[in-house]
Amino acid sequence: MNAIPTWDDIRDAAARIAPHATVTPVLRSDLIDARVGTAVRFKCENLQRGGAFKFRGATNAVWSLDEEDARRGVVTHSSGNHGNALAMAARTRGIPAHVVVPEGAVKAKVDAIVAAGATVHRCEPTTAAREAKAAQVQAATGATLVHPYADPRVMAGQGTVVPELLRQHPDIDTVLFPVGGGGLAAGCSIAAHAIDARLRLFAAEPEGADDAARSLEAGARVGPFTPETVCDGLRTLVGEPNFRVLREHRVSVLRVSDTEVVAAMRLLWSELRIVVEPSSATVLAALLRYPDRFAGHRVGAVLTGGNVDLDALPW
């Protein structure tokens, strides 16, 4: 597979993960539609296995391996959801999983990784430290590296969200998703425009980790930065291939504040009765902050995960 997956890769991924992944529901709210001023359909990947969309990409990567590589296992670095997803996916194939976790990761997510059977390796909370530790584990074990967002197998798996959503609601003309490293954003963009080149694509990003927005504005990927946001799943620098996909598919990135994100989390709970992570709530925050961008359109918004520590909710 090339560094950037194709539509054929995404269709193959959909077939590969079908025995393992959940077809997640789509929810809506009259009140939210009225607040935004348009029809919004929320794709609830918080109800995916493992509590996040990450299971799609991880499962595609694990089941793409040949038998010899699979026996040596897989390794990744992750703040939580991808690590949990890879551990769960590895368990479906009965192979070892190693997850490098930065200090300060959400406890509920780390507990889930351990419960899924992975070996956890700690590191400092920087991208450089994560990558260095993962390389060290890979060299020691022979495991295959499954990058959390820049791996084309992962991007292809994440992209399966869009054809599933459009089968459930064919009238959608706008797709909105969070962006961090860009695995979901890239996969969804490729799939969406393969299905219908007229679909409008938006990504939501916290103001305290707005590297994707700044990169697209500058026309070149920005360097490392220090994130300051409650959205722990979006604190990662957008990947190089992921940035190229966002630019090629003309994805508009919308910045939101942490205050708006927390308010959106509460609204999703009160209206849809679901608990989502701050990273997921960015999409509703963007809808509420930029209603003029969505007026008159039919929006499919991806709620990416629901793995929150109920003893440490941001309100």
Same domain, 160 and 293: yes
- Whether residue 214 is contained in a domain is answered as yes
The residue among 102, 131, 148 that closes a domain is 148
Q: Which residue's entry shows tokens 């996040």?
A: 52
pLDDT in tens, 153-169: 999 999 999 999 999 99
Q: DSSP string spanning 198-263?
A: T-EEEEEEEGGG-HHHHHHHHTS---------S-GGG-SPPPHHHHHHHHHTTPEEEEE-HHHHHH
Determine, yes or no, domain membership for 2.
no
Residues 279, 210 share a domain: yes
124 and 17 share one domain = no
Kindly state whether residues 26 and 59 are assigned to the same domain: no
**Same domain (yes/no): 142, 160:** no
Q: Which of 148, 172, 202 is the last residue of a domain?
A: 148
Q: Structure pTM?
A: 0.94
Q: What is the CATH number of the domain that holds 38?
A: 3.40.50.1100
Looking at the predicted structure, is the pLDDT value of residue 1 above 70? no
Q: Is residue 47, in this structure, part of any structural domain at all? A: yes
Closest alpha carbon to 85 in 109, 121, 105, 119: 109
Q: Tens digit of pLDDT for each residue in 237-279?
A: 999 999 999 999 999 999 999 999 999 999 999 999 999 999 9
pLDDT at 213: 98
Angle between helices 240-248 and 211-218 (to 10 degrees): 60
**Do 303 and 165 belong together in one domain?**
yes
pLDDT at residue 2 is higher than 70: yes
| Residues contacting residue 168 through CB under 8 Å, at least 6 positions apart | 26, 41, 43
Q: Of 277, 279, 263, which is closest to residue 310 (Cα–Cα)? A: 277
Q: Which two tokens stand for residue 23?
A: 């077809």
Say how far residue 215 (Cα) sits from the centre of its chain.
Answer: 19
E strand intervals along the chain: 26-27, 39-44, 74-77, 97-102, 119-123, 144-145, 174-178, 200-206, 252-256, 298-303
Rounded Cα gap, residues 310 and 118, in angstroms: 23
How far apart CA 123 and CA 101 sit, in angstroms, is: 6
Label residue 6 exposed, middle or buried (CB < 10 Å: 0-12, 13-18, 19+): middle
Q: What is the reported pLDDT for 48?
A: 97
In a domain, 284, yes or no: yes
Q: How much of the chain, in percent, has pLDDT values that exceed 90?
A: 87
Q: Is residue 1 part of a domain?
A: no
How sure is the predictor about 136, in pLDDT bands with cuts at 50, 70 and 90?
Answer: very high
Quote the domain boundaries for residue 44.
7-52+153-312
For 177-221, write each residue's pLDDT tens digit: 999 999 999 999 999 999 999 999 999 999 999 999 999 999 999
Is the domain of 111 the same as that of 210?
A: no
| Total tally of structural domains belonging to the chain | 2
Mean pLDDT computed over every residue of the chain: 95
Residue pair 217/251 in contact (Cβ under 8 Å)? The answer is no
Residue 79 has pLDDT above 80, yes or no: no
Answer yes or no: do 142 and 261 share one domain: no
What are 14-20's contacts with CB under 8 Å, separation 24+?
14/160, 14/163, 14/164, 16/59, 16/60, 16/63, 16/64, 16/157, 17/56, 17/59, 17/60, 17/63, 17/157, 17/160, 20/49, 20/55, 20/59, 20/63, 20/89, 20/92
Together in a domain, 25 and 171:
yes
Q: Which of 148, 179, 210 is the last residue of a domain?
A: 148
Banded pLDDT at 150 (limits 50, 70, 90) = very high
Q: Taking residues 57-74, what's their average pLDDT? A: 98
Task: Indicate whether 158 and 209 sit together in one domain.
Answer: yes
Alpha-carbon separation of residue 145 from 1, 70, 78, 153 (angstroms): 15, 11, 12, 11
Note whether residue 43 is domain-resident. yes
Q: What is the pLDDT of residue 203?
A: 98
* Distance from C-alpha of 269 to C-alpha of 179, rounded to nearest angstrom: 22
On whether both 62 and 48 belong to a single domain, the answer is no
234 in a domain, yes or no? yes
113 and 78 share a domain? yes
Residue 98 lies in a domain: yes
